[in-house]
């Protein structure tokens, strides 16, 4: 099975920057707020057809980086890809102490999390569960430590596979401990998919793939472009539902017996399929930024069958569906152009794929169907060769930006899009 870095190298994504002079999109519907706004999210997926990680009488402590602050929070846990009930013996939340890989908590901030006033809960297969409100003052950009205790033998079946954050597993119920002694460190989010704050505000949902997810950024530093954008906004929540390897039009479909069978399930349901669950269900969702399409171009013939080759018209049709569904729910839909990837090391580039990318990007820019446009292609291209990623922003594979590239993306997003 490929290493974690190799898995990320097989996935790709798109991110956003602002195109100068674009019109400000229509205002989001105020009916989307409902008193709660998403401050953090991770889109769950199923697991490959290999033996799952199994937890038993263990605590998993996970660190999440919030965007919007508030005095009350709610936590969303998930068994959406489970085949049997998920029992959680205890859940606690606290402010995280320290930075980086620290999983210690700030004294006096530990809180019990309940569901219908019950501290222990069983989640049916295929379902999420949202907690009761928890009184905890959270500043914008604060880190939370969320601890789940699994008292019985529990296969891990619902997870976000690429967290770019070190989370830990410890023996016993240590959900309330100031510090824990890890038996293992994981780069995933297990059974955890969202945090909301009680706040009359609006959330921006970033629907994308590996670059939105944070691929190739430094672990534990929250250098994903949505995190850096959130630091500029402060008055909006940002829910990052990027999934490495995600496609707009197709679910994962590795060839039987291929190496991709060992990891393709982590690429998640297609953007069309997961839109309601990952975007519309976010508390306070008012804007969606769509950054999808490059994997649809690059996966067929690499980690997907050649029979799934798509045309530019296919991709435009998929984007139109997302726009229509966003508008029907009162969301402002913002489209982002696909980054250049000539010379990539993953086998995505071809002259045919470049022509499709060009047609798609021209439609996003000038088609007039998105409420707003963010031209990531223009901001991230190499001035000496516009079909390539700017070397200053290249993580090394010709496709994914590095940390400096992520900062450039966040800085280039016009806040007028969310005014």
pLDDT in tens, 256-314: 999 999 999 999 999 999 999 999 999 999 999 999 999 999 999 999 999 999 999 99
In angstroms, the first-to-last Cα distance of the chain is 46
Dihedral of CA 99/104/106/111: which sign?
Answer: positive
The predicted pLDDT at position 24 comes to 45
User: What pLDDT is attached to residue 14?
Assistant: 32
β-partners of residue 336 are 374
Residue 383's contacts (CB-CB under 8 Å, 6 or more residues apart) are 390
Express each pLDDT in 201-258 by its tens digit: 999 999 999 999 999 999 999 999 999 999 999 899 999 999 999 999 999 999 899 9
153-172 pLDDT per residue, tens: 999 999 999 999 999 999 99
Strands 189-190 and 236-240: unpaired
Note the pTM of the prediction, 2 decimals: 0.93
- Most confident among 2-6, 28-32, 257-261 (mean pLDDT): 257-261
Mean pLDDT of the chain: 93
What share of the chain in percent tops pLDDT 70? 92
CB 240 within 8 A of CB 42: yes
The residue with tokens 């709610």 is 74
| pLDDT at site 28 | 56
Share of residues in the chain with pLDDT > 90 (%): 90
pLDDT of residue 234: 82
What percentage of the chain's residues is helix, strand, coil (to nearest 5)? 25, 30, 45
Closest CA to 285 of 33, 5, 4: 33
419 band by pLDDT with thresholds 50, 70 and 90: confident
> Which pLDDT band, with edges at 50, 70 and 90, does 13 fall under?
very low
**CATH class for domain 4-32+200-418?**
alpha beta
In what helix (H) or strand (E) does residue 155 lie, and over which residues does it extend?
strand 154-155
């Amino acid at each position: 099975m490929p290493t974690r870095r190799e898995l990320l190298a097989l996935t790709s994504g798109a991110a956003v920057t602002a195109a100068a002079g674009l019109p400000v999109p229509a205002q989001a519907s105020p009916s989307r707020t409902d008193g709660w706004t998403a401050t953090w999210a991770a889109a769950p997926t199923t697991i490959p057809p290999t033996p799952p990680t199994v937890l038993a009488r263990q605590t998993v402590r996970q660190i999440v980086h919030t965007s919007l602050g508030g005095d009350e929070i709610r936590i969303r846990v998930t068994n959406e890809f489970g085949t049997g009930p998920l029992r959680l013996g205890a859940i606690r939340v606290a402010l995280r102490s320290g930075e980086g890989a620290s999983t210690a908590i700030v004294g006096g901030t530990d809180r019990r999390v309940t569901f219908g006033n019950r501290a222990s809960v069983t989640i049916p297969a295929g379902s999420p569960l949202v907690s009761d409100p928890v009184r905890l003052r959270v500043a914008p950009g604060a880190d939370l430590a969320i601890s789940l205790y699994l008292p019985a033998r529990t296969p891990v079946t619902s997870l976000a596979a690429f967290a770019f954050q070190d989370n830990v597993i410890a023996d016993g119920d240590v959900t309330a401990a100031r510090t824990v002694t890890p038996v293992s460190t994981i780069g995933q989010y297990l059974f955890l998919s969202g945090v909301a704050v009680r706040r009359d505000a609006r959330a921006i949902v970033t629907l994308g793939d590996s670059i939105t997810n944070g691929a190739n950024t430094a672990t534990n530093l929250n250098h994903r472009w949505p995190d850096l954008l959130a630091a500029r906004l402060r008055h909006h929540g940002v829910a990052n539902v990027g999934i490495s390897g995600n496609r707009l039009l197709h679910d994962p479909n590795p060839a039987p017996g291929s190496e991709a069978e060992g990891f393709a399930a982590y690429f998640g349901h297609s953007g069309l399929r997961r839109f309601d669950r990952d975007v519309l269900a976010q508390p306070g969702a008012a804007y969606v930024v769509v950054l999808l399409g490059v994997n649809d171009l690059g996966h067929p013939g690499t980690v997907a069958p050649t029979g799934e080759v798509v045309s530019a018209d296919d991709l435009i049709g998929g984007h139109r569906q997302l726009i229509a569904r966003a508008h029907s729910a009162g969301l402002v839909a913002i489209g982002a152009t696909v980054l250049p990837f000539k010379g990539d090391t993953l086998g995505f580039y071809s002259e045919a794929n470049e022509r499709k990318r060009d047609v798609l990007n021209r439609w996003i820019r000038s088609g007039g169907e998105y409420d707003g446009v963010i031209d990531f292609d223009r901001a991230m291209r190499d001035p000496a060769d516009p079909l390539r990623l700017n070397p200053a922003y290249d993580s090394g594979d010709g496709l994914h930006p590095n940390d400096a590239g992520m900062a450039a993306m966040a800085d280039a997003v016009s806040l007028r899009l969310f005014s």
